[in-house]
Amino acid sequence: MPHYGGFWSYVHADDEADGNRVTELARDIKAQFEMLTAETLDLFLDHEEIAWGDDWRRSIDDALDKGRFLCAILTPRYFRSPECRKELHTFAMRATSLGVRELLLPLLYVDVRDIHSDNPEDTLIALVKTFQWEDWRDLRFCDRASGEYRRAVAHLAERLVIAGEQAEQVQVAPGGEAEPSEDRPGLLDHIANAEEAVPKLSQTIEALSKEIVLIGEIAEGTTRELERSADSRSTYVSRVLPMKRMADRLEDPAQRIWSLANEYTSELYEVDGGIRVIISLASSQIESDPELRDQLSVFCGAVLSFAQSAREGLGSAEKLKTALAPIEGLTRDLRPVIRLLQKAFNVLTEAISVSDDWVQLIENTGIDCGEYVRELG
């Protein structure tokens, strides 16, 4: 019998707000799973227990190879957590590439409005919708001893048992990929796709950078306006008006940033799997075919340059997010636009971590890209 294990991905604040019902549900599923299989289930409830560190994809590859599942407890706070977003996205993409999508079980625990949209703006919500998620919005209020609750828990446990059995049938190649089929893209196909996609990503970064600069200029202008009116004779009205004007000025660029952030992450996710395949195969391909050495070195150098430009171009988003946070509560006019920007910046933080992972993977290969580091396209 295989060694069963799984990860419970959730926001601790949600568990506390619901009287620890989130972690109680995890333990109930564990007990039901073990009753169905007569096997021990190692269920990790805290990120600290997992000890994944910074090498997320390597750890998730190892988890998927061992047939471990991930249950994501979806709430509005879950999609605002950069850590949870990264965890869910990474697991979803790797499970898809390995053909073990059943190992991801999303639970809609608290209503997330965008998940009911045909075309969610948030690319991660759109990704979740492609998986078979379970609706737990009403069931979380049921008594744990009720038949309705117990049947629902048994159903989840059965899904995980079946998923584990299906995962056993998937053969994973040494490079961390499913065994190739005739219609699976080859190495050169992946390189061609990446060479086409990365310049478009760079253009989106440039557009985002311009909007982020504009947001900063609007904020600085409002600060100067407030400083000019900050005297003993100034009234609250004279202070509120600049904030209202700021909210009006921020509305259009905030919407553009939100749209561009989701466009960027969507483009990034499409090329992410291919780039990781190229990097993972680079060392062995160079050894077996020395003529590929220059092409792969150039490619990896281009990826390094792109990742650096992405961090430089989007890194200011995190600083701006921190700067805007204190003013969210100053006037109700600002709240919607600041919250939209915070959502966009969370998405961008998640995106930066993806290209940062490419850098780590390239460094792990030992390929010398020094003379080839340049922007692709």
Model confidence pLDDT, tens digit, residues 190-225: 677 777 778 888 888 889 889 988 988 888 887 777
16 and 145 belong to one structural domain: yes
d(CA 209, CA 330): 26
277 and 357 belong to one structural domain: yes
Report whether pLDDT(51) > 60.
no
pLDDT at 30: 93
205 and 146 belong to one structural domain: no
pLDDT at 229: 65
Q: How many helices (H) and strands (E) does the chain have?
A: 11, 5
pLDDT at 176: 46
pLDDT at 75: 96
Quick one: which H or E segment has residue 364?
helix 335-365
198 and 163 belong to one structural domain: no
Q: Are 344 and 254 in contact (CB under 8 A)?
A: yes
Report whether pLDDT(250) > 70.
yes
Last residue of a domain, one of 139, 168, 197: 168
Three-state DSSP class for residue 217: helix
Helix, strand, coil % (nearest 5) of the chain? 70, 5, 25
In the chain, where do the E strands start and end? 4-9, 41-44, 69-74, 104-108, 134-135
**Overall number of domains in the chain:** 2
Whether 181 is in a domain gets the answer no
Closest C-alpha among 48, 106, 45, 46 to residue 78: 106
Buried b (16+ CB within 10 A) or exposed e, 302-320: bbbbbbebbeebbebbeeb
Last residue of a domain, one of 140, 168, 196: 168
Q: Are 324 and 316 in contact (CB under 8 A)?
A: no
Give the number of residues written for the chain.
377
Whether 329 is in a domain gets the answer yes
The average confidence (pLDDT) of the chain is 78
The mean pLDDT value for 24-28 works out to 95
Quick one: which H or E segment has residue 154?
helix 147-168
Q: How many CB atoms lie within 10 A of CB 143?
A: 9
pLDDT at 280: 75
195 and 148 belong to one structural domain: no
Q: Are 94 and 86 in contact (CB under 8 A)?
A: no
161 and 198 belong to one structural domain: no
Whether 80 is in a domain gets the answer yes
- Tell me which of 369 and 27 has the higher pLDDT: 27
Local confidence band at 358 (pLDDT 50, 70, 90 cut-offs): confident
Greatest Cα pair distance, the chain, in angstroms, is 78
The mean pLDDT value for 343-354 works out to 80
Report whether pLDDT(109) > 90.
yes
Report whether pLDDT(2) > 70.
no
Whether 173 is in a domain gets the answer no
Token readout for 206 is 């440039």
Report the CATH number at residue 221: 1.20.1050
320 and 205 belong to one structural domain: yes
The mean pLDDT value for 75-82 works out to 89
Closest C-alpha among 276, 62, 49, 35 to residue 161: 35
Last residue of a domain, one of 112, 141, 168: 168
The pLDDT tens digits for 115-166 are 988 888 788 888 888 898 899 999 999 999 999 999 999 999 999 888 877 7
Whether 198 is in a domain gets the answer yes
Report the CATH number at residue 67: 3.40.50.10140
Whether 178 is in a domain gets the answer no
Lowest mean per-residue pLDDT among 108-117, 136-145, 320-329: 320-329
Token readout for 224 is 């100067």
- Report the percentage of the chain scoring pLDDT > 70: 77
CA gyration radius, the chain: 23
Whether 177 is in a domain gets the answer no
Domain that holds residue 278: 187-372
Whether 182 is in a domain gets the answer no
136 and 192 belong to one structural domain: no
Local confidence band at 68 (pLDDT 50, 70, 90 cut-offs): confident
199 and 291 belong to one structural domain: yes
pLDDT at 376: 43
126 and 230 belong to one structural domain: no
Looking only at the bridges linking them, the beta strands covering 41-44 and 69-74 are unpaired
221 and 358 belong to one structural domain: yes
Local confidence band at 20 (pLDDT 50, 70, 90 cut-offs): very high
138 and 200 belong to one structural domain: no
CA 89, 91, 93, 99 torsion: positive or negative? negative
pLDDT at 315: 74
pLDDT at 29: 94
